[in-house]
Amino acid sequence: MSKMAVGDMRPTDHGVVLQWRDITYSVTKKKKDGTLDTRVILNAISGDTSGGSLLALMGPSGSGKTSLLNALAFRVPKGPGAMITGAIYADGKLVETPSQMARMSAYVEQEDALFALSTVRETLMFAAQLRLSKDMPLEEKEQEVNNVIADLGLVAAADTIVGNEQIRGISGGERKRVAIGMDLLHDPRLIFMDEPTSGLDAFQALNVMTALKDLAIEKGRTIIASVHQPRSSIYALIDQLVLLSGGRLVYAGAGQGACSAHFAALGEPVPKDFNPADHFLDIISVDYRTPKLTESTMERIEKLAKGVAREEVPIIKLGLDNAPAGAGDDKGLVMGFTSSGRAEAEQNSKDASRFWIPFKLLLARTWREQTRDTATLTIKYVMQTFFSLLFGVVYLRMARDQTSIQDRTGILFFQAMNQAFGSAIGISKIIPQQLKVVSRERAARMYTPLPYYVSTFLVTLPLELIPGVVYGTVIYYMTGLREGVGHYLIFLAVMTLENFAGIGLGMCLSASFTSVEMAPQLAPAFVILFLMFSGFFLNESNVPVWLIWLREISFIRYAFQALCVNEFKGAEFSCDGSTGSCVDGDEHLERLKFDDITIGGNCGILAGMILGFNLLALGIVYYRQPKYLALEKKTQ
Ligand SMILES: Nc1ncnc2c1ncn2[C@@H]1O[C@H](COP(=O)(O)OP(=O)(O)OP(=O)(O)O)[C@@H](O)[C@H]1O
């Protein structure tokens, strides 16, 4: 079979020489009877590639392409029983941790996780500002973005929003190229791609693969992509091929004629006028239609796997005459960037741990994404205006009589409830909406969770607080709640604190949910739980002992109590005898069991809850950041 010549395995100033040996990935699970069941997903896979080439990982569905790609990129998610062994060398140096690999490479995921309401240029500019050196002037970063836009054929789409399933934006192929572009900005020498053509029509797929091939040839980069069923024009672009079947290697070497010759020698020549890629996939797939076919196809795969006869390529040695500048320096090699990119990468890794640069950029992006969603904002504000006016009209200028006591209590409860629902439920979908993009950016070490969390929280404040103050004011004066600027300001302050607490709860829920769909389903249930124990539906003293903790953490309760004390403490209400017994404000508070509540005390508790909810949410964001398996042991 054709094999990679040792001479090709030279470190250059362009692509990384990547060599992997005996990569074995297994997942062990406990069966019901207590015995252990180990599934080998990748079985001792070895291979080599270097700069200027496009290597395709191919195989039938479930053969292990994505697993191998992830293993090489150190992107196999940590999970119970999962273990990877083997060794991966970059330019002759053993790569030991996911962060070493992350710093030297780019990984373009199968799913294009991009923000829908940012334009192509804004999306790339965001990545440029986080991935290029902070010392690089803004104009140069803009120039880099322009270069990537031109290189990937995105000039016509540069100022169009990315879009998604609901919002029309750029095409699928363009979206894929933007996702690739984001990872190319820092000029990585090694690029991993998971099915770059998936979901694209034949023409778009060819465009994307041609762009990758150009990158390999013109910039000398090392590109490794898992590819599903390539058409012949795409197959023609592939320089090297790794074929897998059931987690076993059936071919590793040059593509095109060499691969065809290898299979012809094993008795499986490519039929005339046949797409070679289709033929290879056919002969390495198990046909389960009948037991006989299953047996014969498995025998054929066994024969092909045995015929791999991979001739060992030695791991390249450092310090060769042709090594790139800095090749003797461990750090340079592990960083794996071009000489110009290396300094940037070092700088970059420092930037990633800094707060302010990512914070400002994330703040601007989240603000842009939230405020450009005009349809959602319009519906939200129109509904809030409608309900505020309706409420104001129904309770228009209440008299200060006995019947108004119940109405006032109802209005205050409605306000406390509305505030909680609006903020907590609205906010709860923000993080799941952004989760995929943020996970990808976090995996690429672009920023830490802290600037992400703080910026997301801050963006929600004006969008929630300002309307809250406006609608609160409208209702306060239309309905004729307690007179006096002091009472009005306390009303607004309590409502604002409750809003903050609701946003904090929303952020906790948001950080816990994995899908946008979960948010509207589950968030109301949490708010209703707090609502039940707010003191309005259930008298304070009637809460079952085992549910007292729910009452104690109901932020709606603290807000409602404070609003009631503000409205009723020391207040007099006229009595004409028509309602039977007459009560004043203090007696009403006593009936509600709110007589020993202080506004300051409750506001203090709300402030504590705001802090608590937000710290909890931040903790969840930290806990849920992507974690990848390291190689367990090295065989060389
Ligand atoms: N963590 C895991 N636990 C159990 N099985 C796993 C795990 N990861 C992968 N597998 C299994 O290993 C096999 C290979 O998966 P992988 O996703 O690498 O295949 P693939 O060739 O990329 O498939 P496709 O083309 O369908 O995406 C599949 O059968 C998959 O179900």
* CATH number of the domain that residue 218 is part of: 3.40.50.300
**How does pLDDT run across 387-400, given as a tens digit for each residue?**
889 989 988 988 88
What is the Cβ-side half-sphere exposure of residue 437, based on CA atoms within 13 angstroms?
Answer: 24
Residue ending a domain, among 307, 336, 365, is 336
Q: Round to whole Å and give the CA distance between 468 and 464.
A: 6
Compute the distance from residue 41 Cα to the ligand 1 centre, in Å: 7
What is the Cβ-side half-sphere exposure of residue 302, based on CA atoms within 13 angstroms?
Answer: 6
Q: Which of 49-58, 487-496, 530-539 has the highest mean pLDDT?
A: 487-496
pLDDT at 12: 57
Alpha helices in 28-134 (DSSP H): 65-72, 98-104, 120-131
Counting the structural domains of the chain, the total is 2
**Shared domain check, 325 and 401:** no
pLDDT of 206 > 60? The answer is yes
Residues in the chain, total: 636
The CA-based diameter of the chain, rounded to the nearest angstrom, is 107
**How does pLDDT run across 421-446, given as a tens digit for each residue?**
877 887 887 777 787 788 778 777 78
Q: Of 277 and 313, which is predicted with more confidence?
A: 277
pLDDT band at 13 (very low <50, low <70, confident <90, very high): low
Compute the distance from residue 619 Cα to the ligand 1 centre, in Å: 31
Q: Round to whole Å and give the CA distance between 61 and 424.
A: 42
- Determine contact, residues 627/518, Cβ cutoff 8 Å: no
pLDDT at 250: 92
**Shared domain check, 106 and 185:** yes
* 3-state secondary structure at position 119: strand
Mean pLDDT within 242-269: 90
| Ligand 1 and 71: CB distance under 6 A | no
Mean pLDDT within 157-184: 87
Q: In what order do the strands lie in the sheet with 190-194?
A: 105-108, 190-194, 222-226, 53-58, 240-245, 248-254
* 3-state secondary structure at position 285: coil
**Shared domain check, 378 and 317:** no
Question: Strands, E, within 533-631: which ranges?
Answer: none
Q: What are phi and psi of 224, to 5 degrees?
A: -120, 120
The answer to whether residue 636 is domain-embedded is no
Give, for ligand 1, the residue of 66, 245, 281, 629 to mutate: max count of ligand atoms closer than 8 Å to Cβ.
66
| Ligand 1 and 61: CB distance under 6 A | yes
**Shared domain check, 218 and 100:** yes
Q: Round to whole Å and give the CA distance between 606 and 557.
A: 10
Give the residue among 184, 572, 234, 214 at the shortest CA–CA distance from 405.
572
Compute the distance from residue 221 Cα to the ligand 1 centre, in Å: 27
Name which residue sits closest to atom 25 of ligand 1, judged by CA. Answer: 61
pLDDT at 3: 44
pLDDT at 311: 62
The answer to whether residue 635 is domain-embedded is no
pLDDT at 338: 39
Alpha helices in 284-373 (DSSP H): 291-306, 330-335, 339-353, 356-371
Give the C-alpha distances (Å, rounded to integers) separating 333 from 323, 327, 445, 482.
10, 6, 18, 71
Name which residue sits closest to atom 4 of ligand 1, judged by CA. Answer: 27
- The ligand 1 atom at the shortest distance from the C-alpha of residue 64 is 18
- Determine contact, residues 631/24, Cβ cutoff 8 Å: no
**Shared domain check, 262 and 125:** yes
pLDDT band at 337 (very low <50, low <70, confident <90, very high): very low
pLDDT band at 326 (very low <50, low <70, confident <90, very high): very low
Q: Round to whole Å and give the CA distance between 474 and 418.
A: 14
| Structural domain range at position 132 | 6-336
pLDDT at 176: 85
pLDDT of 573 > 70? The answer is yes
Give the C-alpha distances (Å, rounded to integers) separating 1 from 4, 253, 309.
10, 8, 8
| Ligand 1 and 64: CB distance under 6 A | yes
Question: Which residue carries 């009403």 as its tokens?
Answer: 588
Give the residue among 208, 627, 223, 572 at the shortest CA–CA distance from 399.
572
pLDDT of 410 > 80? The answer is yes
- Determine contact, residues 555/502, Cβ cutoff 8 Å: yes
The answer to whether residue 351 is domain-embedded is no
Q: Round to whole Å and give the CA distance between 209 and 390.
A: 58
**Shared domain check, 518 and 404:** yes
Q: Round to whole Å and give the CA distance between 585 and 402.
A: 10
Report the b/e string of 272-305 with b at 16+ CB within 10 A: eeebbbbbbbebbbbeeeeeeeeeebeebbeebb
pLDDT band at 10 (very low <50, low <70, confident <90, very high): low
The answer to whether residue 519 is domain-embedded is yes
**Shared domain check, 366 and 220:** no
pLDDT of 552 > 60? The answer is yes
pLDDT at 418: 85
As given in the structure block, the two tokens for residue 91 are: 């330019």
Give the residue among 74, 60, 54 at the shortest CA–CA distance from 241.
54
**Shared domain check, 328 and 368:** no
| Ligand 1 and 27: CB distance under 6 A | yes
Angle between helices 276-283 and 256-265 (to 10 degrees): 40
240-245 and 93-94 strand pairing: unpaired
| Ligand 1 and 389: CB distance under 6 A | no
- Determine contact, residues 413/534, Cβ cutoff 8 Å: yes
Compute the distance from residue 27 Cα to the ligand 1 centre, in Å: 11
Angle at 33 between CA 30 and CA 34, to 5 degrees: 45
Q: What are phi and psi of 240, to 5 degrees?
A: -130, 150
Element (H, E) at 530: helix 518-532
Give the residue among 234, 232, 123, 230 at the shortest CA–CA distance from 169.
123
* 3-state secondary structure at position 286: coil
- Determine contact, residues 277/56, Cβ cutoff 8 Å: no
The answer to whether residue 125 is domain-embedded is yes
- Determine contact, residues 167/116, Cβ cutoff 8 Å: yes
pLDDT at 636: 44
| Ligand 1 and 41: CB distance under 6 A | yes
- Determine contact, residues 220/12, Cβ cutoff 8 Å: yes
Residues in contact with 206: Cβ distance below 8 Å, sequence separation at least 6, in sequence order:
231, 233, 234
The answer to whether residue 495 is domain-embedded is yes
Average of per-residue pLDDT values in the chain: 84
Q: Of 45 and 350, which is predicted with more confidence?
A: 45
| Ligand 1 and 65: CB distance under 6 A | yes
Element (H, E) at 179: helix 172-184
Question: For the chain, percent helix, then strand, then coil, each to nearest 5?
Answer: 55, 10, 35
Q: In what order do the strands lie in the sheet with 93-94?
A: 36-49, 18-30, 82-90, 93-94
**Shared domain check, 93 and 59:** yes
Number of neighbours of residue 82 by Cβ within 10 angstroms: 16
pLDDT band at 579 (very low <50, low <70, confident <90, very high): low
For the chain, how far is it from start to end, CA to CA, in angstroms? 24
Q: Round to whole Å and give the CA distance between 416 and 497.
A: 11
**Shared domain check, 542 and 477:** yes
Angle at 61 between CA 59 and CA 63, to 5 degrees: 55
Q: Which of 339-343, 415-419, 519-523, 569-573 has the highest mean pLDDT?
A: 569-573
pLDDT at 11: 53
CB-count burial class (<10 Å; 0-12, 13-18, 19+) for 336:
buried
- The ligand 1 atom at the shortest distance from the C-alpha of residue 79 is 1
The answer to whether residue 412 is domain-embedded is yes
**Shared domain check, 466 and 407:** yes
| Ligand 1 and 248: CB distance under 6 A | no
pLDDT at 602: 96
Compute the distance from residue 230 Cα to the ligand 1 centre, in Å: 19
**Shared domain check, 360 and 295:** no
Mean pLDDT within 588-597: 90
pLDDT at 331: 40
pLDDT at 121: 96
Name the β-bridge partners of 514.
none
Q: Round to whole Å and give the CA distance between 436 and 457.
A: 18
| Ligand 1 and 80: CB distance under 6 A | no
Q: Round to whole Å and give the CA distance between 400 and 287.
A: 83
Compute the distance from residue 66 Cα to the ligand 1 centre, in Å: 7
Mean pLDDT within 328-342: 38
pLDDT at 343: 40
- Determine contact, residues 127/55, Cβ cutoff 8 Å: no
Residues in contact with 381: Cβ distance below 8 Å, sequence separation at least 6, in sequence order:
467
The answer to whether residue 341 is domain-embedded is no
